Amino acid sequence: MLKRFTDWTRRRGRRREADAIGPMMAFAGLGASGALAKTHSALPGVDRALVGVVLALILLGTVMVYSASIALADSPRYNVAPTYFLARHLSSLAIAFCAAVVAFQVPMGTWQRLAPWIFASAMVLLVLVLIPGLGKGVNGARRWVPLGILNLQPSELMKVACVLYAANFTVRKQDYMHHFARGFLPMAVVMALIGALLLLQPDLGAFGVIVAIAMGILFLGGVNGRLFAGITAVLAAAFMLVIWLSPWRRERIFAYLDPWSEGNALGKAYQLSHSLIAFGRGEWFGVGLGGSVEKLHYLPEAHTDFILAVLGEELGLVGVLTVVVLFYWLVKRAFEIGRQAIALERTFAGLVAQGVGLWIGVQTFINIGVATGLLPTKGLTLPLMSYGGSALLSTLTALAILLRVDKENRILMRGGRT
């Protein structure tokens, strides 16, 4: 009898223990699933900080385009409404955002398959722009194909095509990155052909950016260090030769070295001298939004290549440093996304992301360097901020591809498939 009572007590104790443990296990499981859900919610589909920085640069650029171009309304050269350039800038942004939304929907595997065809199409456009009747010339340069709502600049589209093609080339030739004939020579031939077409426009600035993109991606892809150094030296010598053989380019270089000498301030260094005056007037906090004097027909192309000078005059050093920090963060984030993709064994996507960061970083450095007198004057816009439909279209498309790389990284880290 005692034995039966003891067994019954033990069984009842085990049931109570199970009844107590059951809810505890269920609560623990619920807590684990909740933590997992929180982890998933912490990884949104897009990098919101990156989108926020891009939008901040676009909004600031839109304000500065309006401020820098409003005085052009009474210019005999334009004779347009005060909001003419703002309206065109906004329409270009609308087109660029539509293209970016489409680009974001395309998987990186599809971009990799289409890379050679996109590159070939961009090459065809570079040829078409040189054909009389098809290409549009402005100030002695033939760089645009008029499409009604937009003057398409093929050299801007070539930047996107070059990022995709160079990344695809590096992945395909990964086993030959240490060989000159098979690992670099094909890309060198392609770059030479692009250079010839761009110098016929002429557009040496765009060619410099495209070469920097291609060489940077090859370097990141593992090209031989000695080979890379030798090629870099040859390219530098080639650029110096092109400049030396062009009298007007040579004069621009010498003007940049001494912009305040007699004749230069009112001649070849006219833009640079007035850009420096604008920065000087801005001091720490600027003269106030809309208060620039240099934009009143003193500084040519104030709404395009030299928009940073107007920003520096109106918002001061604080405004300029804000722009620099935003671009620094954007380039840094692009390289982080690229490294993450390569760590996930997605070499093409990683090289594309880093190529986009390299492109924006190099072009921003050149534009700021030109505006502040650190580099010779070149016709390159400030990404996301300057007036220019093709530049906005290509840059926002490239950033949409960057966001696509980041999205696929997040999907893979959650254990999904792209």
- The sign of the torsion formed by the CA atoms of 385, 389, 393, 394 equals negative
Given a cut of 60, whether residue 20 has pLDDT beyond it is no
Q: Higher-confidence residue: 138 or 204?
A: 204
83 domain-assigned: yes
Mean of all residue pLDDT scores within the chain = 82
Highest mean pLDDT among 79-88, 108-117, 150-159: 108-117
Per-residue confidence (pLDDT) for residue 1, from 0 to 100: 38
Q: In this predicted structure, what is the pLDDT of residue 233?
A: 79
Please determine, for residue 357, whether its predicted confidence score (pLDDT) is greater than 90.
yes
Please tell me the least confidently modeled range out of 46-50, 163-167, 199-203: 199-203
| 230 in the same domain as 141 | yes
Token pair, residue 46, equals 């897009």
pLDDT at residue 285, as a whole number: 93
Residue 396 is encoded by which pair of tokens?
């926002």
Is 418 domain-assigned?
Answer: no
312 with 374, same domain: the answer is: yes
Instruction: Give the mean pLDDT of 204-210.
Output: 86
- pLDDT confidence tier of residue 138, bands split at 50, 70 and 90: low
Q: What is the mean pLDDT of residues 99-127?
A: 94
Q: Are residues 204 and 112 in the same domain?
A: yes
The pTM score is 0.84
Residues 271, 150, single domain; the answer is yes
20 shares its domain with 81: no
Answer whether 377's CB lies under 8 Å from 271's CB.
yes
Looking at 239-243, 288-292, 357-361, 402-406, which range is the least confident one? 239-243
Q: What is the dihedral of CA 33, 35, 38, 42, to 10 degrees?
A: -120
Select, from the ranges 78-92, 223-237, 239-253, 266-280, the one with the highest average predicted confidence (pLDDT): 78-92
Does 76 sit behind a cis peptide bond, omega within 30 degrees of 0 on the bond before it? Answer: no
Shared-domain flag, residues 171 and 203: yes
pLDDT tens-digit map of 36-58: 344 344 445 788 999 999 999 99
Any domain includes 15: yes
Residues 36 and 106 in one domain: no
**Poorest-pLDDT segment among 135-139, 288-292, 403-407:** 135-139
pLDDT above 60 (res 401): yes
Q: Do both 271 and 348 map to the same domain? A: yes
Q: Do 150 and 299 sit in the same domain of this protein? A: yes
Q: How many domains does the chain have?
A: 2
Q: Which residues make Cβ contacts (< 8 Å) with residue 126, sequence separation at least 6?
A: 154, 155, 158, 194, 197, 198
Residue 200 sits in the same domain as residue 286: yes
156 shares a domain with 138: yes
Q: Find out whether 158 and 86 touch, Cβ atoms under 8 Å.
A: no
Cα 313 off chain centre by = 25
Q: What is the pLDDT of residues 362-394, one digit of tens each?
A: 999 999 999 998 888 777 899 999 998 889 999
38 burial via Cβ count (<10 Å: 0-12, 13-18, 19+): exposed
Are residues 151 and 226 located together in one domain of the fold? yes
User: What's residue 139's pLDDT?
Assistant: 62
Domain that holds residue 36: 1-42
Position 12 scores a pLDDT of 45
- Region 18-33: what's the mean pLDDT? 36
